[in-house]
Structure 1
């Protein structure tokens, strides 16, 4: 084909763009068709022409495309059209569309912390497999861990809460449909932390957006930012906001916990299989004179540890959050985000109107202020106060949900996720029935979303795709731990809860094949009675 001169090339692009814009509503028949999968589908539009498309009347998600450029194939990534834009009022998104090799599927990635940026780079592994991929900034610009000044805006609060993920999916899939002349055959979402919360929000409030959802270590921004993060900061930080415990002291505590509980599962490997089985007494590591020592904790440090293990309570002893820090998470308690997550949420997100500029997280009153932040929980969390999760619509449409959580998560208590899962399956037909469409995987030794001295990297994308497209439920996935050089140290299978990995007693303890699925002799009721929990439909026997 003869290469067009720049002037004629621009004219041609304009003609194509004009046709694309006028044809937006005229080729409904073509747009109503779902794409075939794994067929190396090619674009029906010139990449650069996309900027001229008028999406300002897109129902529910008025959209403007601000840039589109063609990016050459490189390093295992196919040639793609890189599209940027925003959904009203300011939900910035980025969309990357393979131009010659689209596999017929759409993928959207979640964000982290307070978000504020478009983390399209977290789609790289999926783009390399020829998905159309998208990411967004959840409606505002800012650092994902520092002060969320944008919280002064009611629109920004709304979009961060539940709207941004949904309307980004609407806009992105509309562009995908026009670009290829067909709708995605299947749509997938993956996210951890805030992204995990996004996934559960989608499943409950917008069940038609995604066929398969992977939600990890879900950080419910309302109950965390308003309650749990503030509680942990109060006890793990001194009045000057320096850590109560140094790295060395945290390791003393962590190693004492490991020594006491590591072997409960029959294998001494530095990993606690289920922290609930650990009955460690923190007071056993208190220095005799009450002061901090090289191999023991001070009286104040022991008291702080007891508070965060137990979790938030008011002066009447009522639980304010479903659980506290778990045994095995101590090595990550000294996070740099302890202060910023707690202080930022309390100053800019939780109260209406925002408190005075002098207000800090230490001014939060766990008695008087709890009723004042119910609106924040309603706005930011998938489940509103005093209600239970309701995923009946997602189940009815055939959606598949994989939820995972690190047992040693220092940022979000895994007990919160266990409570969530139990609230779902006790109301939607029981555990066995729920496992037909919703499975939970607990990851021993893993910190928040990653890290920890345990196998903590894994890929649930093939599993959720097989479940959605072939009806093959995930029986397990292999987790891997690598050393600093990238060499594999050990692998271990993760099985769907309540099953867990049990050592076969004879193989290489670091090999996944040496671990088999086991089921607890007695299943527990994982629901937790807390101040904003749902009204029980059956007696609750979970941890109190």
Structure 2
């Protein structure tokens, strides 16, 4: 296989028929190709784009289990994909390729690949999905194309007609759940590598992955199951414990709903809880700014908000509501065995709780799939028996294996980030995974783990990005304030992967509507935290130190 790659690299202008043969041979054994993706010797620096195949000829490629459905040469400028509804400005010229991968009966993975026509940086970037997938997230692809990456995304193996939290697709074929769990991302990576090699006449020098939420979980799954698929992974707010985290969302929804937190009035009460908790603990980090540096250290009890006689409605909680808040911020336990199922919600994560009311669409879909009942609505929910069924049927979706030794040995790098006001993915569950990886992978040696895997906690932001903290560090679709390794997580990942420059911190920025920067704070590698020096403007990152 390495001889085959040298042939491809040495002959970028080979006849199209020869390249078709090369790709066909490579695709015959996808796992073999993937297992040898990362050569032992240093790779050449990314080169300028040059085409071995015209875009239109990509459609004629014959690859086992893969059908190239369509190709399109897209000029530079604003692009509106077929079907309408989306518009992407300021894109470079590119070749758009759509394909379907069908390796086993009942599985059909759709993917889309955008190949820069003139400004390729020699790298490949795969982007993740959200929720239960079902669509190709072109809005995630566009920023990576602007950076010069050949970029791809997958629909996770199904189409979701009812949106991100639809479960109907899972009942058509159980193979689709495997597609969603890992196969779609893995096969898209393997197929894209062959297509990139065909178009440019050389494989990508480095392969990367970026995703958040479900996409973050997919990135961590790749590191755990397919350590050669990506050289660098940027994973954010990853719902790694799919079954337990989904169960926590369900119980959070039920407890808060039953306590009367539904509707606009309920949302205002949850914001009251959040504001009171933050006010009680805000100055613990030396700066009063509406941001908790570490919500877990906040010792605040919601029972202090219970209404007294004559207190105005909307300014306090009923005793039942205070009990519900206390319950959801405590560890979730099996009512029979008393074993812990999941960590509790953080005390300042109410922005995401509001989205779980009156029901959690994500959790309902999760349980519908596990219990094989498309009409399941939670009314008969039994935490002891139903959770056991979910864990049994869908536990393989989880990305909780802490053994990352194979990924480390392959030379891979991981930058993971976690918003500290996340009410979908408990920040504590993320740090517990990191701590488990520290034990399992590095035998407690933090410098060894940090040589390839670093976790950055992001204060003051919820799962969907609400909150008071600065939240732009190049991790999302918004462009970073500067494309350097301090302000841009993608650049930091590339520099670490290709040049060995590990990120000692990232700088998160908050901007006003006119684009002016209003706050910057350093994000520190866990377990370090940003500590205010005690002097200077607290909105300036240099007035903090990671300690």
Shorter-normalised TM range: 0.7 to 0.9
Offset of residue 76 of structure 1: 4.4
Contact in 1 for aligned 2:291/2:469 (Cα 8 Å): yes
Contact in 1 for aligned 2:243/2:395 (Cα 8 Å): no
Rounded to whole Å, the distance in 1 between the matches of 2:391 and 2:115 is: 41
Offset of residue 486 of structure 1: 3.8
Cα deviation digits, residues 471-521 of structure 1 (max 9, x gap): 111111110122344432211110101111111111111111111111xxx
- Corresponding position: 1:382 with 2:409: no
Cα deviation digits, residues 453-474 of structure 1 (max 9, x gap): 1111212101111111001111
Offset of residue 450 of structure 1: 2.2
Secondary structure in 1 aligned to 2:314? Answer: coil
Contact in 2 for aligned 1:245/1:301 (Cα 8 Å): no
Contact in 1 for aligned 2:253/2:356 (Cα 8 Å): no
Specify whether residues 487 and 300 from structure 1 end up closer, same or farther in structure 2 by C-alpha distance, changes over 3 A only.
farther
- Corresponding position: 1:195 with 2:215: yes
Contact in 2 for aligned 1:282/1:305 (Cα 8 Å): yes
Rounded to whole Å, the distance in 2 between the matches of 1:264 and 1:27 is: 57
Secondary structure in 1 aligned to 2:379? Answer: helix
Rounded to whole Å, the distance in 1 between the matches of 2:438 and 2:219 is: 18
Matches for 1:122-521 after TM superposition, within 5 Å: 122-142=140-160, 143-152=162-171, 153-220=173-240, 222-224=242-244, 226-238=246-258, 242-243=262-263, 246-289=266-309, 293-316=313-336, 318-335=338-355, 338-347=359-368, 349-351=369-371, 354-355=372-373, 358-383=375-400, 388-429=401-442, 430=444, 431-448=446-463, 450-459=465-474, 460-518=489-547
Rounded to whole Å, the distance in 2 between the matches of 1:300 and 1:68 is: 59
Offset of residue 319 of structure 1: 4.5
What is the aligned length?
489
**Stretches of 4+ moved more than 6 A in 1?**
31-35
Rounded to whole Å, the distance in 2 between the matches of 1:382 and 1:63 is: 27
TM-score (norm 1): 0.84
Cα deviation digits, residues 120-173 of structure 1 (max 9, x gap): 221222211211000001000014433211111211111011111100101111
Cα deviation digits, residues 220-275 of structure 1 (max 9, x gap): 36324652121111112249994596222122111110110101111111100001
Rounded to whole Å, the distance in 2 between the matches of 1:128 and 1:332 is: 31
C-alpha RMSD of matched pairs (Å): 2.6
Rounded to whole Å, the distance in 2 between the matches of 1:182 and 1:223 is: 41
Rounded to whole Å, the distance in 1 between the matches of 2:296 and 2:260 is: 33
Rounded to whole Å, the distance in 2 between the matches of 1:295 and 1:346 is: 36
| Corresponding residue number in structure 2 for 1:115 | 133
Offset of residue 369 of structure 1: 2.3
Secondary structure in 2 aligned to 1:294? Answer: coil
Q: Which runs of 5+ in 1 are unaligned?
A: 1-14, 519-544
Q: Which runs of 5+ in 2 are unaligned?
A: 1-13, 28-36, 78-88, 475-488
